[in-house]
Homo-oligomer: A and B are copies of this chain.
Amino acid sequence: MIQKYPSALLENAVNELAKLPGIGRKTALRLALHTLKKSPEEVSLLGQSVVDLRNKVNYCRVCHNICDEEVCELCNNPNRDSTLICVVENIKEVMAIESTGQFHGLYHVLGGIISPMDGIGPNDLQITSLIQRTQSGAINEIILALSSTMEGDTTNFYIYRKLAGLNVKISVIARGISVGDEIEYADEITLGRSILNRTDFNDSFKI
């Protein structure tokens, strides 16, 4: 049954909110009605923050991470190891890896992964600039940190081939049993890889 809204303004707000990922019409209605309980100033701050983010956002011209300046804080930080580049799909992964505190190199944000089903090819991603960066800079190692999916593996392989001629070590983040996971529930491929890529016992306590 099509829900009838008592107000066109409400219907419009619900329609717009329901376009957000993971927000259905019921949640959108709840959010819209919630704003009615807030002061106009608070709601204005909310609306403005999203519009500002979209309109004023910058992308670092080196690593394509989101930032407020022309070059991001990470790329500008002299304490980071600029010979080591971690290739990630999106901004979110930069934040996730940063919060581990285990990586001190720089990043390269592709802006997606190769996915023919979604019409995303290599030219839609920041792969050319990765090659240029590798060619021009003194890069020792490139770590591929993409999702362990078919699209991620395809992208890994594409980048690997493109960088093959250049004098740079290419590595991939470890696949294995997640910390806290029980072995009996792990799939065979992950379990197999975790045995092939086993680490020295003394190294295994390093985090």
Interfacial residues, chain A to chain B (CB-CB below 8 A): 1, 3-10, 12-13, 15-17, 19-23, 27, 29-36, 38, 40, 42-58, 65-68, 72-74, 90-92, 94-95, 98-99
Contact = CB atoms under 8 A, between A and B. Distances in A.
A88 to B, nearest CB: 12
Number of copies of this chain that the complex holds: 2
Given A48-B47, A54-B40, A95 B5 contact: yes
A67 B36 CA distance: 12
Nearest to A51: B47
Contacts of A68: 7-9
A49 to B, nearest CB: 4
A48 B44 CA distance: 9
B53 A44 contact: no
Q: Which of A16, A42, A65 has the most CB of B within 10 A?
A: A16
Given A30-B22, A47-B48, A50-B47, A9 B94 contact: no
